[in-house]
Chain A
Amino acid sequence: MGILLQQIVNGIALGSIYALIALGYTMVYGIIRLINFAHGEIYMIGAFVGYFALTAFGLPFWVSLLLAMVIPALLGVLIERVAYRPLRSSPSITVLITAIGVSLLLQNLAMLWFSPDPKTFPQIFTRAPFNIGGVRITFPQVIVLATSVLLMIGLNFMVQKTKIGKAMRAVSQDKEAAKLMGIDTDRIISFTFAIGSALAGAAGVMVGIIYPRIQPLMGTMPGLKAFVAAVFGGIGSIPGAMLGGVIMGLTESLVTAYISSTWRDAIAFSLLIIILLVKPAGILGKSTREKV
């Protein structure tokens, strides 16, 4: 029982990181129907920005976190401008291949710049655990959970209450109609990329706090899994991405504890295929039908 609770705590911490990444996938997919393959690399860049801010520049944690959100946000906007916007009216496969290209380019540039060797993320928080009823909760886990929850509350507020959030929802409902209503769709799309990328950048720092080894290929697997989480929750749905992320984190930590860590990756993808076949719209998604 103690082990189970322990794994649930670990799973939620990991899951909140997946949720942060999944939010970017789901928002971008919701607005331009693109699986942004490069999103996992944005998360990797976020981790490296955080790393350099903390080590090379010795900045305080909260400033480093902010930088690790702002720089990926700018990068996200730049990628959309240069690589995706010219293909707005192209077949989805063309854009998907481009996104794969961007993902590979970032990975390989990161290997050139940062070297392929893993770096150790600085330990800024004490790792001495609290003991609550036999369950060990570490301070980094608390930080990760608190930051993620704060960011998600902020995001929810922005999407539901602010003018730009309403515009985002309008564009994701019907781009043409939103344009006719005077919404600058290009600006909204850029903004969506910025927000999604900022969250991924924050996730990069979060992962550095809990699992302090970062390297240029670190984004691929979590990126894919976060995408699976987004599909699981219902792609395009923001609460769905949060839920999917947490479920993914929990499943992984339970599989690692009770089955084997080498099967972990296969479980994530099996989950994806099952959900796609059984309920392609995801848990909280709406199903659509092609008009004939």
Chain B
Amino acid sequence: MPANLLEARSLTMNFGGLTAVVNLSFQILKGELVGLIGPNGAGKTTVFNMLTGVYAPSEGSVYLENELVSSLKPHTITQKGIARTFQNIRLFNDLSVLDNVRIAFHSRSSFPIFDAVFLTPRFFKKEKAIYDNAMELLGIFGLADKKDEKAKNLSYGQMRRLEIARALATNPKLLLLDEPAAGMNPQETEELTELITEIREKFDLTILLIEHDMSLVMKLCERIMVLDYGILIANGTPDEVRANRRVIEAYLGGDV
């Protein structure tokens, strides 16, 4: 039986009077590809924000490989192995595609500031390594020829791909994708599906993804969790979820 990678215990998030997520518990096993779905405003992105430390949960805790991470700062959580993309794309717009990825290599390829200021041999060696690794990653994502382009000048699909490449550069164990196919045309979505499968193998990843494109979710995910008004209403295989009464109610909004 595969080991437990991530465990969320009784996560609750209050914003003033509004409770966005209520007593949410789940586990993700090593190597799984899990989908997190739910109607708009169900609290999906809030879950991501809690897992990555952007928000400190009002209650509950998050464990990565049995280590408590929910009290850590976002950059430490990233260094421990959770990386993410953003629903509303947050690239470093005025920096080059290459620099976007190089920045994400920072935490695992850094060297003392002294070496940078005095241009020591270590500076050149380390910077070369960062450059080579970044270019390799850009190659996988078909962005190598765009390396000098500013991130804001990329097409929408390219931006989404760059965000995933950037997240991978942090060497994550768990990759969180927040609506990776949003705004993509069917062909781009198809390519994205293949890409996710490919990087999952290549980088030995565990993936949790939020997505509205049901065809992508049903095709890709081995397990799906459904959130409605901050409550986990279903957790199972695509077929189980598809047949679940409460899920259908949540999506159709009826009082069946």
Is B45 part of the binding interface, using a Cβ–Cβ cutoff of 8 Å? yes
Chain B residues within an 8 Å CB radius of A292: 45, 49, 54, 86
Residue of A nearest to B48 (CB): A292
Cα A278 to Cα B224 with chains together (Å):
42
Cα A289 to Cα B54 with chains together (Å):
11
Cα A292 to Cα B15 with chains together (Å):
14
A-B contact count (CB 8 A): 5
- B15→A289 contact, CB < 8 A: yes
The contact string, 1 if C-beta is below 8 Å from chain B, for chain A 279-292, is 00000000001001
Cα A292 to Cα B176 with chains together (Å):
14
Cα A7 to Cα B49 with chains together (Å):
51
Please provide the chain A residues from 248 to 292 with a CB less than 8 Å away from any CB of chain B in the complex: 289, 292
Please provide the chain B residues from 82 to 96 with a CB less than 8 Å away from any CB of chain A in the complex: 86
Q: How far is the CB of B117 from chain A (nearest CB, A)?
A: 27
- 5 shortest interchain CB distances as A-B pairs: A292-B54, A292-B49, A292-B86, A289-B15, A292-B45
Residue of B nearest to A286 (CB): B16
Cα A289 to Cα B49 with chains together (Å):
13
5 residue pairs bridging A and B, Cβ less than 8 Å apart: A289-B15, A292-B45, A292-B49, A292-B54, A292-B86
Q: How far is the CB of A158 from chain B (nearest CB, A)?
A: 29
Residue of B nearest to A290 (CB): B54
The contact string, 1 if C-beta is below 8 Å from chain A, for chain B 1-34, is 0000000000000010000000000000000000
Residue of A nearest to B49 (CB): A292
Cα A1 to Cα B15 with chains together (Å):
46
Q: How far is the CB of A226 from chain B (nearest CB, A)?
A: 29
Q: How far is the CB of A290 from chain B (nearest CB, A)?
A: 9
Chain A residues within an 8 Å CB radius of B49: 292
Chain A residues within an 8 Å CB radius of B86: 292
